[in-house]
Amino acid sequence: MNAQIPPVAPTVQPVMRTTCPYCGVGCGVLASPDGAGGASIAGDPDHPANFGRLCSKGSALGETLGLETRLLHPMARGRDGRMARADWDTAIGSIAQAFGKTIETHGPDAVAIYLSGQLLTEDYYAANKLAKGFLGTANVDTNSRLCMASSVAGHRRAFGSDTVPGVYADLDEADLVVLIGSNAAWCHPILFRRLEAARAMRGTKLVVIDPRRTATGDEADLFLPVNPGKDTVLFAGLLAWLADHDALDHAYIDAHTTGLADTLAGARAMAPDIAAVARETGVSAADLVQFYTLFATHERAVTCYSQGVNQSAQGTDKVNAIINVHLATGRIGRPGMGPFSLTGQPNAMGGREVGGLANQLAAHMNFTPVEIDRVRRFWQAPRLAEREGLKAVAMFEAIAAGRIKALWIMGTNPAVSLPRAGAMREALESLDFLVVSENVASNDTLSCRPHLVLPALAWGEKDGTVTNSERRISRQRAFLPPPGEARPDWWAIAQVGRRLGFDEAFAWRSAADVFREHAALSAFENDGSRDFDLSGLAMLDDAAFNIMAPVQWPVRSAGDSADKRFFADGHFFTPDHRARFVTPKPARLARETSTDFPFILNTGRIRDQWHTMTRTGLSPRLGAHLPVPFVEIHPSDATKLGIEHGGLVSLRSAHGSAVVEARLSVGQKRGALFAPIHWSDATSSNARINDLVARITDPVSGQPESKATPVAAMALPVRYRGFVLSRRPVTELPATWWAKVALEGGAGYLTATDLGPEEWKRHTAKILLTSDYAEYVDAPGGVYRAAAFDEAGALTGAVFLSPSGAPASWDGLKALLAARTLSSVGRRNLLSGRGEGQITPRGPLVCACFAVSAPQIEQALASESGADVARLGQLLRAGTNCGSCVPELKKLIRQRAMLDMATITPPA
């Protein structure tokens, strides 16, 4: 089915097929290395996840390949507290010694490994084997605990296994798609485009359920602004409605499920009538009836869900409430039907396969006596862990309490991403031994005084497999040489295993060796009893592994490349092979608002940044979409608090605080706030949002409730706003607040401060790293500008300060940072502010591919009434490449249409 790639090494092969390192859509990428450490990037037309398309993040991968920010050598902390280069041999020895000694003195549960859905399956497999089989502890967990744990737990409760039943093609074949707790237009853009294409073809109805109106919600036929945490009530109401309107599939229920009667009774208790559901969920009765009717009347229905479902104190119940309605209608595992959990990270699914979670063993096996025995025999493990380990949040609590003394972190930045991030930092600093395997030389976790840091191969260099949301295993292949002394993560783990005396168990020579073992374990004594089965791949030779085409599991026999769905004919992985209906507990937020903390803080993602920005933060194009950390607030809440659009807001919770810019949005509910998670201490002065987030977890899955923390918000007036442009990173800024953005040719810092022109003047030399600069001071006007140039006359840095009521924009100026030369007129105009449109506001970038900003689009729409997305594409090229901005283009078009209406029809 899929084109095969020839088995040739990267040096001779100009184009390498690989997989995008970002989201769980798992798009195929063609990388053409330029021989100088870079590569041009295109979508792989033959990859069944994307058929050649890439979103804005995938398209910009080529901008993120530089080595400037990379960690290239092992580094160890010396007696003087400083980090110094170490060799791999010593590094491996010190891990083996620290872990060995800790286990000897305090037992195996005093050590832990914290992994990531961005590791390859082979890395993940190796880490899990070392911990659970040879160190004797199941204290190995992953950032997937913050991400997919509720889906895993919900699947296991309903199906007896962690099985995603459907495939992406279901979105092409559905008549109704429900997106709940998912901003797919921004977070799974290529899958969303696929859905949009299907809608254009067959008129698929789209229902979006989210407390806040997102770019995804804007596209919906029906948008349901559910109150935070009330999804189970909404779905209980749906189940009851389906029963009352004779829409249940009794044949399927009788043959393949148990527990409907109880669950239906529970649903009726939770959702006695439409009025009650409307009251609890905040969705109007009319909209509820419309949704329920759509669901009842469209057999081909898919319900996709993501973090608005998983990251809740009742996340597992939400997952089961969704699965319940699909089981009750028999709409599962058939074309165009099913519950569909969208995975976040590129290898979230692979981590689940190997047992990266502390409450799973390996290859979808659990801590049952039979399975413990089976894995022990397969690994010939001397001390297999016999019970579940600590889940991420509990693991970090054990670290803080001193019960875990040695920790290995790999591929994740917990000092930013864990709830109560501030306290987590202290916990990390208290460890007897902390080792961090990283791609980058500095981030917030690396500031937590690790004893050892290990350079890991990054995307483009590493080699192995990842599994996407539809269970499709794809190869990530190396197209760049390993830089410095960076090594694969699996290799570092294997070295430690061998140093501890387990030569045979960790004798792998390649990722292919690890993959074969992983596949063999999935096949071991399986005989169809476990969903996860790669029997057909266990005998791949190296050449076949090299050319392995994307394939969906299970792969029960060699050469089996068919796409598969699960459960159309039952055969669940429970003891009686029947699925379980699960009755959700009453829905309430773990923490309610109070007079001290009157807002509920929701957190999540923006279109063009990835998590803590260690990769996307390197791309100027991606930085231009939403360059400043912000909080969205309803205009009426803002007015009450004196908060202005673009002004600074101080956010405070019971745990911590942050300062971000306000964005007024009617898409936000009153009393609710939304802030993105991406900024850290590496990219902002104090916008690390997880400092605020409460540490409350779902009782079943252990996943933290990242989307509902009570907080207070307050306007934070400052006297001056400004910016600094610099070719080199700036280490000293006399600003109370700043945020950093990658720019072509250097970096930009947006600042806020109470210090005026005279004070800034005193700091300029330190900021610009030279005493040779030109300046313009208007102290009474509150204006200060300084600029430095190199011998060729090109701009090397600039400092701009204005009163906060009249901030200058850097949009025109920042291009000068990349320019090699600048005319003398240009230099003079620069400081006077008369340059070619240089300090006129240009507004946010909408199309990252062709650098088209919102004002440019607004202008085009104003000059050509009735222009649609296609016409904007012709006029400005906007939206014609990756398409990630199409929802935003449509929104601007709608806004323009409303303006036109308003001018045609005078208000009564």
Ligand X SMILES: Nc1nc2c(c(=O)[nH]1)N[C@H]1C(S)=C(S)[C@@H](COP(=O)(O)OP(=O)(O)OC[C@H]3O[C@@H](n4cnc5c(=O)[nH]c(N)nc54)[C@H](O)[C@@H]3O)O[C@H]1N2
What does the binding site for ligand X look like in residue numbers (CB under 6 A)?
Answer: 23, 116-119, 143, 146-147, 180-184, 186-187, 209-212, 214, 226, 228-229, 231, 306-308, 311-312, 344-345, 410-414, 416-417, 437-440, 443, 456, 458, 462, 489, 602-605, 607, 609-612, 614, 677, 689-690, 693, 706-707
Asked whether 140 and 115 are in contact (CB, 8 A), the reply is yes
Alpha carbon dihedral 624, 625, 627, 631, in 10-degree steps, equals 170
* Binding partner of residue 328 among ligand SF4, Mo ion, ligand X, none, CB cut-off 5 to 8 Å per kind: none
- How many residues bind ligand SF4, per CB under 6 A? 14
Nearer to ligand SF4, 54 or 349 (CB): 54
Q: Is 807 helix (H, G, I), strand (E, B) or coil?
A: coil
Q: Shortest gap between Cβ of 699 and ligand X (angstroms)?
A: 17
Asked whether 283 and 217 are in contact (CB, 8 A), the reply is no
Q: How far is CA 845 from CA 5, 612, 878, 889, in A?
A: 37, 20, 10, 11
Q: Collect contacts of 585-590 with beta carbons under 8 A, ≥24 apart.
A: 585/314, 585/317, 586/270, 587/229, 587/230, 587/231, 587/232, 587/233, 587/270, 587/280, 587/314, 587/317, 588/229, 588/314, 589/228, 589/229, 589/313, 589/705, 589/708, 590/313, 590/694, 590/696, 590/705, 590/708
Nearer to Mo ion, 61 or 146 (CB): 146
By the rule CB under 6 A, 41 interacts with ligand SF4: no
Rounded CA separation 890/883 (Å): 11
* Binding partner of residue 461 among ligand X, Mo ion, ligand SF4, none, CB cut-off 5 to 8 Å per kind: none
Q: Shortest gap between Cβ of 344 and Mo ion (angstroms)?
A: 3
Nearer to ligand X, 434 or 718 (CB): 434
Report the side by side order of strands in the sheet with 16-19.
16-19, 28-33, 39-43
Q: Shortest gap between Cβ of 265 and Mo ion (angstroms)?
A: 35
- Tokens 């907080």 sit at which residue? 711
Contact pick of 10, 26, 237, 647 for ligand SF4 (by CB under 6 A): 26
* Binding partner of residue 25 among ligand X, Mo ion, ligand SF4, none, CB cut-off 5 to 8 Å per kind: ligand SF4
* Binding partner of residue 167 among Mo ion, ligand SF4, ligand X, none, CB cut-off 5 to 8 Å per kind: none
Position closest to ligand SF4 via CB: 58
Q: Shortest gap between Cβ of 610 and ligand SF4 (angstroms)?
A: 8
**What is the pairing mode between strands 783-789 and 795-803?**
antiparallel
Q: Shortest gap between Cβ of 611 and ligand SF4 (angstroms)?
A: 12
Residues belonging to the chain:
908
How many CB atoms neighbour CB 85 within 10 A?
10
Q: Shortest gap between Cβ of 130 and ligand X (angstroms)?
A: 15
Nearer to Mo ion, 342 or 730 (CB): 342
- Whether cis (ω within 30° of 0) applies to the bond prior to 554 is yes
Nearer to ligand SF4, 54 or 357 (CB): 54
Asked whether 412 and 118 are in contact (CB, 8 A), the reply is yes
Rounded CA separation 447/425 (Å): 9
Q: Shortest gap between Cβ of 168 and Mo ion (angstroms)?
A: 19
- The DSSP secondary structure of 84-152, one letter per residue, reads EE--HHHHHHHHHHHHHHHHHHH-GGGEEEEE-TTS-HHHHHHHHIIIIIII----EEEGGGGTTHHHH
Q: Which residues pair with 783 in a beta bridge?
A: 778
Contact pick of 10, 33, 48, 58 for ligand SF4 (by CB under 6 A): 58
Q: Provide the CB-side half-sphere exposure for 344 (13 A, CA).
A: 26
Rounded CA separation 530/375 (Å): 14
* Binding partner of residue 587 among ligand SF4, Mo ion, ligand X, none, CB cut-off 5 to 8 Å per kind: none
Nearer to ligand SF4, 55 or 248 (CB): 55
Q: How far is CA 826 from CA 813, 819, 836, in A?
A: 11, 12, 9
Asked whether 229 and 321 are in contact (CB, 8 A), the reply is no
For 116-133, letters b (16+ CB in 10 Å) and e give bbbbbbbbbbbbbbbbbb
Nearer to ligand SF4, 27 or 164 (CB): 27
Nearer to ligand SF4, 54 or 358 (CB): 54
By the rule CB under 6 A, 20 interacts with ligand SF4: yes
Q: Shortest gap between Cβ of 382 and ligand X (angstroms)?
A: 27
Nearest one of 730, 732, 735 to 719, comparing CA atoms: 735
Q: Any idea what the Cα angle at residue 171 is, between residues 166 and 173, rounded to 5°?
A: 100
Q: Shortest gap between Cβ of 614 and ligand X (angstroms)?
A: 4
Q: Shortest gap between Cβ of 57 and ligand SF4 (angstroms)?
A: 4
Q: Which stretch binds ligand SF4 (CB under 6 A): 18-26, 171-179, 529-537, 834-842?
A: 18-26
* Binding partner of residue 496 among Mo ion, ligand X, ligand SF4, none, CB cut-off 5 to 8 Å per kind: none
Rounded CA separation 734/757 (Å): 11
* Binding partner of residue 257 among Mo ion, ligand X, ligand SF4, none, CB cut-off 5 to 8 Å per kind: none
* Binding partner of residue 607 among Mo ion, ligand SF4, ligand X, none, CB cut-off 5 to 8 Å per kind: ligand X
Rounded CA separation 74/82 (Å): 13
Nearer to Mo ion, 147 or 208 (CB): 147
What's the token pair of residue 682? 């590496």
By the rule CB under 6 A, 171 interacts with ligand SF4: no
Largest CA distance in the chain: 84
* Binding partner of residue 54 among ligand X, Mo ion, ligand SF4, none, CB cut-off 5 to 8 Å per kind: ligand SF4
* Binding partner of residue 412 among ligand SF4, ligand X, Mo ion, none, CB cut-off 5 to 8 Å per kind: ligand X
Q: What are phi and psi of 825, to 5 degrees?
A: -65, -45
Q: Shortest gap between Cβ of 228 and ligand X (angstroms)?
A: 4
Q: Shortest gap between Cβ of 608 and Mo ion (angstroms)?
A: 17
Asked whether 533 and 526 are in contact (CB, 8 A), the reply is yes
Q: Shortest gap between Cβ of 851 and ligand SF4 (angstroms)?
A: 19
Nearer to ligand X, 253 or 313 (CB): 313
- Residue 171 belongs to what H/E stretch? helix 169-173
Contact pick of 54, 120, 375, 626 for ligand SF4 (by CB under 6 A): 54
Residues that bind Mo ion (CB under 5 A): 147, 344
- The DSSP secondary structure of 204-240, one letter per residue, reads -EEEEE-SS--HHHHT-SEEE-PPTT-HHHHHHHHHH
Q: Shortest gap between Cβ of 907 and Mo ion (angstroms)?
A: 46
Nearer to ligand SF4, 140 or 845 (CB): 845
* Binding partner of residue 411 among Mo ion, ligand SF4, ligand X, none, CB cut-off 5 to 8 Å per kind: ligand X
Asked whether 76 and 90 are in contact (CB, 8 A), the reply is yes
| Rg, Å, the chain Cα set | 27
By the rule CB under 6 A, 336 interacts with ligand SF4: no
Contact pattern from residue 178 through residue 207 relative to ligand SF4, giving x for each residue in contact according to CB under 6 A and a dash for the rest: ----------xxx-----------------
By the rule CB under 6 A, 57 interacts with ligand SF4: yes
Q: How far is CA 674 from CA 260, 590, 594, 661, 894, in A?
A: 37, 18, 18, 12, 23
Nearer to ligand X, 209 or 375 (CB): 209
Nearer to ligand SF4, 120 or 733 (CB): 120
Rounded CA separation 833/797 (Å): 15
* Binding partner of residue 413 among ligand X, ligand SF4, Mo ion, none, CB cut-off 5 to 8 Å per kind: ligand X
Nearer to ligand X, 26 or 647 (CB): 26
Residues of this chain that interact with ligand SF4 (CB under 6 A) are 20, 22-23, 25-27, 50, 54-55, 57-58, 188-190
